[in-house]
Structure 1
Amino acid sequence: SSNNLPIALRKGKRSLTKSSNLIYSIDNYVSISHLPSSVHALALSLSTTSLPKTYVEGLHIPGWKEAMDVEIDALLSRNTWSLVDLPPGKDLVQCRWVYTIKYHPDESVERLKARLVAKGCTRTYGVDYFETFSPVARLNSVRLIISLVVNFDWPLFQLDIKNAFLYGDLSEEGYVAQRENETRVCRLQKAIYGLKQSPRAWFEKFSATVLSCGFSQCYSDHSVFVRRHNGKLVVLVVYVDDIIVSGDDVTGIIEVKSYLQQHFQTKDLGDHYFIGIEVVRSKKGLSLFQRKYVLNLLSETGMLGCKQVDIPMDPHQKFGIDDCSPHTDVHQYRSLIGKLIYLTVTRPDISFAVGVLSQFIQAPQKAHWDVAIRILRYLKSAPGKGLIYRPNRHMDLVAYSDADWAGSTSDRRSTTGYCTFVGGNLVSWRSKKQTTVARSSAEAEYRAMAHTTAELMWLRSLLLEMGLLVSKLMKMFCDNQAAIYIASNPVYHERTKHIEVDCHFVRDAVMKKLVETPFVSSSGQLADVLTKSLFVPNFCMCCNKLSMGDLYAPT
């Protein structure tokens, strides 16, 4: 009879219903049906196009073999290498294929792109290469430019330099294998992608080109170039081989784009997709999202059908030195944390939780993995959440500084958190454990104020290099009266002498009338979300005041 069968067979096999009938289907938390046609087309193309993971897989997917042939033709046309016999004692650099998708400014798929990349990790510093430099602009600089674009209604363009690294001349000696069973090898003459010295060679070539066009290099961020002509401004931001062009000089922008086209093979990609970030611009402002990245992350981890939560970390969760058993797959944990760190580019709401988990990257425990899964469950609740920049029509610099005194139960160090606004839009934030143990809450708060002051001064210097005047005092809101008193009190005593350097730095900015330190109540402290895990009401309040929103939320 059926009663004699094992319980698993008596119950029968479980079957999943269609995703629309699942209780926690991802369709309940992200929708593109209500979006404008142009944004709908981009979101749909990002969701339906897949990338091959191996060379063999690429050969069997239509379009990718042709893309690899185009890459080989480009390498040959640039005289990237010459065929020689491998000299004795020289090693070969191995290569692999990397795949991506390029889009038109109108959000349609432009082409499938394949890149032959050298495995530069096998090279030895001091033997195979010497100087390295990656020309990557600070993301704070990128967000600052976007805030200026929205407030002043500047045009915004993204230029893609095709095979940018091949423009750089390679001074070191390197050899790449052709195919299996080939007797001769390729001696590199150009800096191909993947080599440690390739970014340096490309950046030297690009810098020399734009400097000859009248640009000057910013000291605050060496990947930002500015040119002022007849009171008009053009700004270039370099992120590897992607260039952001903006400013109030429309004619100058056209001239710069034409000048770059004469020296490099460039393509105008518009302003809709940049370094994995989706950009949506309208009359009401500009939004930055990583919806596609979140959905891919949830898919890779098998969390598309999970139950969502409202906050990324339980406020009662505390980590000691040895809480429970170690996590069995360390590589899995490190890989997930690395992906979450990149997601914080547009998601300050998870910065604190990800920062806490990053402290246990060497020896994660099961409790840490459980919190990482909880972050994924939180992301499931709003995959399209991101930053919204609005035209506030001013250039005020405002910051919120906070510290969670002795918040770490393992070593009793405090956590610094701050966020800065330019023109009413969030441009930078930080959540980081302090390097020393603070003996009082005032000391912890004051160290946080020193870091916040440094960030404000950096933003101010970058704006001044662009020729944009910052007339008003920079406001740094703090919720600790003792720390504010130390900033304005010229008298040192025993309670403050051990933080004298920070005192001098903050007080100097206050005395020069560059920064003022108004008091803000704890209920209005926006940096709270960067120093501790909050309950749902306070967490939602902070996210709203940080101008975070979900363009893809179902209506």
Structure 2
Amino acid sequence: MQRELDALEENDTWILTSLPPGKKAIGSKWVYKIKRHPDGRIDRYKARLVAKGYLQIEGIDFVESFSPVAKLVSVSIYVDDVLITGTSLEEIQRLKKYLNDLFTIKDLRNAKYFLGLEIFRNDAGTHLCQRKYVLDLLKDAGLLGCKPTSTPFSQGYNVTAQGGAMFADTRRFKRLVGRLLYLNLSRPDISYGVQQLIQFVHAPTQGHWDAAIHLLRYLKGTPSLGLFYPVGQSNKFESFCDADWATCLLTRKSLTDYCIFYGKSLVSWKTKKQKTVSKSSAEAEYRSMAATVCELQWLYNLSHDLHLNVALPIALWCDNKATLHITANPVFHERTKHLDIDCHIVRNQYKAGLIHPHHISTHLQPADLFTKSLGGPLFRTHLLKLGM
């Protein structure tokens, strides 16, 4: 094994390693490709963890997560920052000692700040926010003393309709939108606004810049807003999907959005323009439902890798009755001939027992916050439903 580890540090090759004898895992072998870095620290972390009997969970792009065979411990690595969590404090201490013996790490104890994400804990649960990141963003924009607004955009505001002269400093607009995109990590309330602005980073107008400033003024009034994860969670996923039909005035494409909860905690959300034009609202809603089902499949597989027992079926709430009828009876040829693949995706998971679609009234739909600019009272009501 030591010769294999030495080879990892010397060559750019594929190494196939087996887990220690007597241990059971999701997969019996691990294929790992080493990449050359200036100091090679990240790759040495990974190589040593694999040699110790850890498995890397597939599908995690931003950080590398490893799950041990006997006790669950997750190791998230980004550059030279390492975040360790798990179900056994004893196993965590043992792992930190193991890494310290190899690389001399600095133990900062309980996580309070990681990659711009501020972490606060108490007996009720954990609060995640990016307050310092927001204040730095406002400072760079010169808006620390501005008057705050109550919503990201005014009710009914459509960014795609904003024209006017081209904004002179395109690079500044790109940088601002990029930073807002990262802020969306803990701020689902700005997901719709960021999606609208990011469409025009290549050629923004003065109207688009004014919309970005309005969004910053909203952040001025809510710098500490973030996600709260209470203790004592249930083992159920619950999902909400919605679509805004033909919302883009330039392409007439619809918006797909969804939000997924584990217990009462929001764990996944998205606002994205659909790739094709939908001929009806039912078609747009069904494409949104298919995207939500794909995300639920990934989350269910991830929860299995993390040894979480998730209750099935998963409730999928939609405010369009036509999509529910199509799921239960896919013989609606006129409505389904343009979305055959999406029909199979949703229908197969419905028959397999992964999801169970339900109808919800539009004014009770929390996913509505991700598709349009809402008024203050309704916006704040949906924020509470998201656990913010």
**Which category of TM-score, normalised to the shorter sequence, fits these structures?**
0.7 to 0.9
Q: Give CA deviations for 1:128-176 in whole Å, capped at 9, x if unaligned.
A: xxxxxxxxxxxxxxxxxxxxxxxxxxxxxxxxxxxxxxx998879xxxx
Gaps of 5+ in 2: 1-5, 12-34
Aligned partners of 1:170 and 1:198 also within 8 Å:
no
Query: 1:273-422 to 2 correspondence within 5 Å?
Result: 273-320=113-160, 323-422=163-262
Out of 364, 380, 385, the position equivalent to 1:540 is 380
Does the residue aligned with 2:97 lie in a helix, a strand or coil? Answer: helix
After TM superposition, give the deviation of residue 203 of structure 1 in Å: 4.1
Aligned partners of 1:215 and 1:225 also within 8 Å:
yes
After TM superposition, give the deviation of residue 537 of structure 1 in Å: 1.1
Corresponding position of 2:73: 234
- 1:438/1:201 Cα in 2 relative to 1: closer, same or farther (>3 Å)? farther
Aligned partners of 1:319 and 1:410 also within 8 Å:
no
After TM superposition, give the deviation of residue 259 of structure 1 in Å: 1.1
Aligned-partner Cα distance in 1 for 2:10–2:277? 47
Does the residue aligned with 1:426 lie in a helix, a strand or coil? Answer: strand
After TM superposition, give the deviation of residue 492 of structure 1 in Å: 4.9
Query: 1:87-106 to 2 correspondence within 5 Å?
Result: none
Corresponding position of 1:474: 314
Aligned partners of 2:156 and 2:374 also within 8 Å:
no
After TM superposition, give the deviation of residue 202 of structure 1 in Å: 4.3
User: 1:425 corresponds to which letter in structure 2?
Assistant: S
The structure 1 segments of at least 4 consecutive aligned residues displaced by more than 3 Å after TM superposition are 167-172, 199-204, 319-322
Aligned partners of 1:168 and 1:202 also within 8 Å:
no
Query: 1:44-193 to 2 correspondence within 5 Å?
Result: none
Gaps of 5+ in 1: 1-166, 173-195, 549-555
Point out the structure with max Rg over C-alpha.
Answer: 1
RMSD: 2.2
Normalising by structure 1, report the TM-score. Answer: 0.62
Corresponding position of 2:100: 261
Query: 1:437-452 to 2 correspondence within 5 Å?
Result: 437-452=277-292
Identity of aligned residues (%): 41
Corresponding position of 1:494: 334
2:362 matches 1:525: no
Aligned partners of 2:159 and 2:197 also within 8 Å:
no
Aligned partners of 1:199 and 1:240 also within 8 Å:
no
After TM superposition, give the deviation of residue 319 of structure 1 in Å: 3.9
Aligned partners of 1:319 and 1:408 also within 8 Å:
no
Corresponding position of 2:112: 272
Aligned partners of 1:168 and 1:198 also within 8 Å:
no
Does the residue aligned with 2:69 lie in a helix, a strand or coil? Answer: strand
Aligned-partner Cα distance in 1 for 2:60–2:160? 39
Mean Cα displacement is larger for which, 312-321 or 518-527?
Answer: 312-321
Q: Give CA deviations for 1:309-357 in whole Å, capped at 9, x if unaligned.
A: 1011122322447721111111111111111111111111111011101
Aligned-partner Cα distance in 2 for 1:321–1:524? 28
- 1:201/1:475 Cα in 2 relative to 1: closer, same or farther (>3 Å)? farther
Does the residue aligned with 2:339 lie in a helix, a strand or coil? Answer: helix
Q: Give CA deviations for 1:24-71 in whole Å, capped at 9, x if unaligned.
A: xxxxxxxxxxxxxxxxxxxxxxxxxxxxxxxxxxxxxxxxxxxxxxxx
After TM superposition, give the deviation of residue 545 of structure 1 in Å: 0.8
User: 1:292 corresponds to which letter in structure 2?
Assistant: K
After TM superposition, give the deviation of residue 219 of structure 1 in Å: 2.0
After TM superposition, give the deviation of residue 380 of structure 1 in Å: 0.8
Out of 43, 46, 55, the position equivalent to 1:204 is 43
Normalising by structure 2, report the TM-score. Answer: 0.87
Aligned-partner Cα distance in 2 for 1:277–1:393? 22
Does the residue aligned with 2:360 lie in a helix, a strand or coil? Answer: coil
Corresponding position of 1:51: none
Corresponding position of 1:219: 58
Mean Cα displacement is larger for which, 217-226 or 515-524?
Answer: 217-226
Aligned-partner Cα distance in 1 for 2:138–2:127? 22
Q: How many residues align?
A: 358
User: 1:282 corresponds to which letter in structure 2?
Assistant: N
